[in-house]
Chains A and B, each alone.
Chain A
Amino acid sequence: MAFRSLSHRSILALVAGVAALAGLSPAAQAQPRQPGWELGGVLDVAATSREVAFGQRDKGLGLGHSDVSLRGPLGRALSAQFTLAAHTHDGKLEAEIEEAWVETRTLPAGLQLRLGRFAAQVGRLNEQHPHADDFVERPLLHRAFLGGHWFDDGLRLNWTAPTDVYLRLGAEVMRGHQLVHEVASARSPGAFTLNARTGGDLGVGSSWQLGLSWLHNRREAEPEDPAAPHEHEAHGAHFSGKRTALVDLTWKWAPQGNNRQRQLAISTEIARIRGINRHDTGTQRHAAGTLSVVWRHTQAWEFGLRTDWLLADHPHLADFEPLRLREQALTVAWKPTHAQALRLQFTTQRDALDVDDAARRSVQLQYVLSFGAHGAHSY
């Protein structure tokens, strides 16, 4: 939080410093591998014709989630990552430490412990940096319930089962400040998460993954005052509550498993939030869902279609107003090399109820460029 508004100058200095560091790092050759530190950066720029409701990109030209990342081992037993991310918001450049964690590598029995700041393990997409997404904006579900990309200070314990079918169980204790900023009441620690993830292959060509997540949030959001200007919190969740349940399911298929050339990826996530605040009578809830289909036609061309919906009981003082929104997005991406993507997306938001800024039509053009060691991709 304290890091939120760095000046342009300090960011430039930092980026320049890191770049200088990259220039100095020697390229190891023909010697036994010394596990080393890797430095990488990603630039994400987008032009937006019209801001979408709960969107994360300003109208006009803006910097999306761009980052500089340093990662590597800390001795035999630990690994660490540091990521400084920047984006523009309302015309201002904002930078924040997005990841700063150490993780064990050598605990027995498939156990792993992580401490520091990192993206919470809820749903499928939250752990992934937004610039790696197949769409210009995160799904409505993530934007509305997780502030787009919920990273926070905390502690994580994961256990991967020694089974042929992948099974991982994880628990996190998080501060919760990045999830709910303005609180009516809060207890510390602010949030707990539980996550189970399983998956496997179905023959050579296809694979699947199922995730179940549970988020217990102990930070009660300040209800909106209708008299006050209708200002959405730009960071943090737009809608929160005590108990969030998320289910995610992904299925991917590529001819002969050669996903470099062609791939069909279908993914869905559904979330429900209950216990919105102290005025909740037990009947209020927020719910959202997303379904995306992405087809990689060749090495260089990808097409994606996504449909999103959101239902919320929007707290106004001691009352609740029903809120509703549907969103559809169509995207085409051209990836001339592995390090670049140019993406054109059409988004339409419909059936809006109590959403003032729904965009009937929005066109976005995004360019993503990766420098140096780009982090490995998650599933």
Chain B
Amino acid sequence: MVRTRTEIPPSAAGPRGWLRRVHAALAVATAVSAAAVAAPAAAFTVFACEPEWAALARALLPQARVHVATTAQQDPHHIEARPALIAQLRGADLAACTGASLEAGWLPTLQQRAGNPRVQDGAPGMFYAADHVILIDVPQRGAAALATPFAGDVHAEGNPHLHADPRRLLEAARALAAQVQALQPAQAGAVGERLARLESRLQARIGDWERRAAPLRGRAVAVQHGSLAYLWRWLGLVPVADLEPVPGMAPTPGHLQRVLQALRPKPPLAIVVARHQDPRPGRWLAAQLGGSVPLLVLPATVPDDSAPDAIEDWFEQMLQALLKAAGG
């Protein structure tokens, strides 16, 4: 780029200056594209919107290059369409995302800016987990249409945080494997074997988790947002209060007072907030309840997607925290 710029004579600001600049830009474009063509064929590249899909992609295609757009420390609803993410999506052969409008604030911009035909909606390289799983908390048909801006971030498709139910995560893994197989026919057999291994491993753990979680069944939790709604449903826990007045809205003092009044007569097992959320409202509530109710700050997704047993470790971590809160 520097070399090309020195080719512009100092008089480039003349009447035909813009034309020279067009030529300069074209020269840069040609140089960069030549460099790109000369580079060796890159590995199959996956763009994962959230870490759980990165973990699955790594399990199915260990040799793939995987970019992860978000971490457990970040709120997946509110990610900026940063230049780095556009560049990553530009080079992706497959984009694995949650869908159900979870990424509505940033993924469409990335898709539009990246100009990568492989990962446009409807293309074989675009995977939305929510398209393959039945979602919970789906608003009634009329309710979604009538939703006002004051109702908060209500997703017409239902709660998108489906990965917190390992059975649904497995369903999504099967669909993702099928899509990977279609994109990489030469790898189809190997991907199928890895999926089978993942399934048997996870199925065994699901049985174990469900047995150990038996004492949690029917217990109440106070939550902040529906990030772990699928986990509660799966383990039979009951989210009795939400610190958010409406979905996506930060807790307000008035609402916290109401939650406190509602919880006082029958304190829940725990107050659970996600790691990417502000813990102060939950901390306040726990203190007001007299310290008998612990505040659990849990990662709302896989904390380290490149760990070998990333998914199992995450569920294990959440279960242990809940069991500890239950006193066992």
Minimum CB–CB distance for A104 against chain B, Å: 8
Minimum CB–CB distance for A218 against chain B, Å: 9
Q: Return the contact of B83 from the options A109, A159, A209 (Cβ within 8 A).
A: A209
B259 in the interface (beta carbon within 8 A): no
A201 in the interface (beta carbon within 8 A): yes
B25 with A196: CB separation less than 8 A: yes
- Among A22, A197, A198, A243, the most chain B Cβ lie within 10 Å of the Cβ of A243
B73 with A257: CB separation less than 8 A: yes
Complex CA distance for A252 and B22, rounded to whole angstroms: 31
A108 (CB) vs chain B CBs: closest residue: B117
B250 in the interface (beta carbon within 8 A): yes
Residue interface bits A167-206, CB-to-B below 8 A is 1, else 0: 1110100000000000000000000101011111100100
A33 with B131: CB separation less than 8 A: yes
A160 with B83: CB separation less than 8 A: no
Q: Return the contact of B115 from the options A112, A299, A338 (Cβ within 8 A).
A: A112
B276 with A258: CB separation less than 8 A: yes
A350 in the interface (beta carbon within 8 A): no
Complex CA distance for A339 and B150, rounded to whole angstroms: 8
Quick check: which of B50-58, B85-93, B262-270, B313-321 contacts chain A, the rest being far away? B85-93
B115 (CB) vs chain A CBs: closest residue: A112
Q: State the interface size on chain A (CB cutoff 8 A).
A: 81
Q: How large is the interface on B (under 10, 10 to 19, 20 to 34, 35 or more residues)?
A: 35 or more
Residues of A within 8 A of B (CB): 22-23, 25-35, 73, 76, 79, 103-112, 158-169, 171, 192, 194, 196-201, 204, 207-209, 214, 216, 243, 252, 256-261, 274-275, 298-300, 336-340, 369-371, 373-379
B81 with A33: CB separation less than 8 A: no
- Among A208, A216, A274, the most chain B Cβ lie within 10 Å of the Cβ of A216
Q: Return the contact of A257 from the options B74, B117, B134 (Cβ within 8 A).
A: B74
Complex CA distance for A131 and B119, rounded to whole angstroms: 29
B149 with A259: CB separation less than 8 A: no
Q: Return the contact of B134 from the options A30, A104, A109, A168 (Cβ within 8 A).
A: A30
- Contact flag A259-B112 (CB < 8 Å), given A163-B36, A167-B32: no
Q: Return the contact of A340 from the options B13, B18, B149 (Cβ within 8 A).
A: B149
- List chain A residues, Cβ under 8 A from B114: 110, 160
Contacts of B69-109 to chain A: CB distance below 8 A: 71, 73-75, 77-84, 86-88, 90-91, 99, 104-109
- Among B115, B128, B145, B250, the most chain A Cβ lie within 10 Å of the Cβ of B115
Complex CA distance for A86 and B156, rounded to whole angstroms: 28
B144 in the interface (beta carbon within 8 A): yes
A337 with B152: CB separation less than 8 A: yes
- List chain A residues, Cβ under 8 A from B106: 376-377
